[in-house]
Amino acid sequence: MSFFGIFPCLEGKKVLILGMDGYIGWPLALRLLARGHQVTGVDSFITRRRVREVHSDSLIPIDSMAERIRKASRTFGEPGFVRFDVTDPRRLYSILEKEKPDAIVHLAEQRSAPYSMIGLKQATETMMKNIVSTMNLIYATKDIVPESHILKLGTMGEYGTPNIDIPEGFFEVNYHGRSDTLPFPKFAGSWYHWTKVHDSNNLMFANRLWGTAITDVMQGVVYGTRTSEIESSSSHTRFDIDEVWGTALNRFCAQAIAGLPITPYGKGGQTRGFLSLEDSVQCLTIAIENPPKNGEYRVFNQYDEHYSVNELASKVVEVFSSLYPDRKKPGILHTANPRIEKEEHYYNPENVKLRELGYRTARSLETEISIILQDVMKYSGRIRRLKDVIMPRTSWKESSGKSAVAGTEKKK
């Protein structure tokens, strides 16, 4: 158990989690309940459906929401839950009327960059779901609970990989003899990442219009299978390893256990901010328990350390070899990069604000990789069934609208 998880919060809050069924949503619900907050969740279960559409599944089996709630209630307290899609403003207004939450955490967005790059249909679905759900939340909060705090999950990918340091949201600019504090320029690398930029702009404007209190979290890539509360309740969160829904380090661990080569794309020098699931949940909890001042819009860069994908691949090989000395050492295969991104670049984002509020890294990278490998090993039989969906296929260059157009013609 992390140091942070031991002590319950003195002042319980009412928290609404949009996207409570997701990879981060469920462990966050457990953590907040364990700390004495009242939690209600919303989800449409779209991630479960979309993952099955690419013939994949969570490697670690997950319970139905009814079973999740039963397990949470036995250990920490009962969360409320309502099933709907946040793009439906009527349902969102009605739950805010009913719950009157102190904080609303918005995790209910399409979260896969490769999914958004499959073609026009997926790109527009991502745009629509993400931007509309955030607009619904902005208006519903202003109309029903104007004092509430919106905690919105954005992404470090909004900034791209500029050749200068990245501040937390804003920076001082001097130009032609004049200076101002301005939002740092955004340069996203997928339709998905651009939706998060559009969300950030809309949230910033809502704050200017109505003074809505907002935390816009620029989160790095999350890895891991467990938090303290997952361990004590045996209520697992999903763990995706396929090329569309799985993320780098989680996939590398699964590849090592499956006996497949680990796949840094291209040269593998692409560097991102990473943090464990335990740390992600810790940071979001800190943001909820330390809300922005009335009328404040603040930006947190939420990651622990930055690594290149080559560094992560080598780390997985190293930890795997010491855990399983008798097994064949995993290979590393630099596959052609399906994405359009810099493969060697400068990267130095700032991440001090959460540390100032008390965030401390829960476990070292090596410890976390070792835990993931051992958890994944328990499902090595299931990995064999998912082998065909692990290697990269979704190409940024080949993303096309033709199949969506062909679908329309057929209907006529």
The residues annotated as belonging to the active site are 155, 192, 196
- Measured CA to CA, the distance from residue 371 to residue 321 in angstroms comes to 14
Q: Which is nearer to ligand USQ, 226 or 251 (CB)?
A: 251
For residue 189, the minimal CB distance to ligand USQ (Å) is 7
- Measured CA to CA, the distance from residue 309 to residue 252 in angstroms comes to 10
Looking up tokens 């935390």, which residue turns up? 215
For residue 263, the minimal CB distance to ligand USQ (Å) is 4
For residue 295, the minimal CB distance to ligand USQ (Å) is 27
Read off the tokens for 80. 């409320």
Looking up tokens 């493969």, which residue turns up? 343
For residue 55, the minimal CB distance to ligand USQ (Å) is 17
Q: Which is nearer to ligand USQ, 34 or 131 (CB)?
A: 131
Q: Which helix (H) or strand (E) holds 172?
A: strand 170-175
For residue 220, the minimal CB distance to ligand USQ (Å) is 4
Please compute, for residue 31, the number of CA atoms within 13 A of its CA located in the half-sphere on the CB side: 28
For residue 108, the minimal CB distance to ligand USQ (Å) is 13
User: Could you list the residues that contact ligand USQ (CB under 6 A)?
Assistant: 111-113, 155-157, 193, 219-221, 247-248, 251, 263-265, 270, 272-273, 309, 339, 341
H-type alpha helices, 54-158: 65-75, 89-99, 113-116, 120-144
Read off the tokens for 265. 């794309």
Residue nearest to ligand USQ (CB): 157
For residue 113, the minimal CB distance to ligand USQ (Å) is 4
* Interior angle at CA 229, CA 307 and CA 255, nearest 5: 40
- Measured CA to CA, the distance from residue 357 to residue 299 in angstroms comes to 13
Nearest to 391 by CA among 254, 276, 268: 254
For residue 90, the minimal CB distance to ligand USQ (Å) is 27
Residues 186, 283, 318, 330, Cα dihedral to 10°: -70
Q: Which is nearer to ligand USQ, 270 or 399 (CB)?
A: 270
- Measured CA to CA, the distance from residue 107 to residue 344 in angstroms comes to 31
Q: Which is nearer to ligand USQ, 22 or 79 (CB)?
A: 22
- Measured CA to CA, the distance from residue 210 to residue 143 in angstroms comes to 10
Q: Which is nearer to ligand USQ, 223 or 379 (CB)?
A: 223
- Measured CA to CA, the distance from residue 319 to residue 313 in angstroms comes to 10
**CB within 8 Å of 301: residues ≥ 6 apart:** 156, 166, 168, 169, 218, 273, 349, 350, 351, 353
- Measured CA to CA, the distance from residue 271 to residue 262 in angstroms comes to 16
Q: Which is nearer to ligand USQ, 148 or 351 (CB)?
A: 351
Pairing of strands 170-175, 178-183: antiparallel
Residues 135/86, Cβ–Cβ less than 8 Å: no
Pairing of strands 213-219, 178-183: unpaired
Question: Collapsing DSSP states into helix, strand and coil, what is residue 387?
Answer: helix
Residues 294/213, Cβ–Cβ less than 8 Å: yes
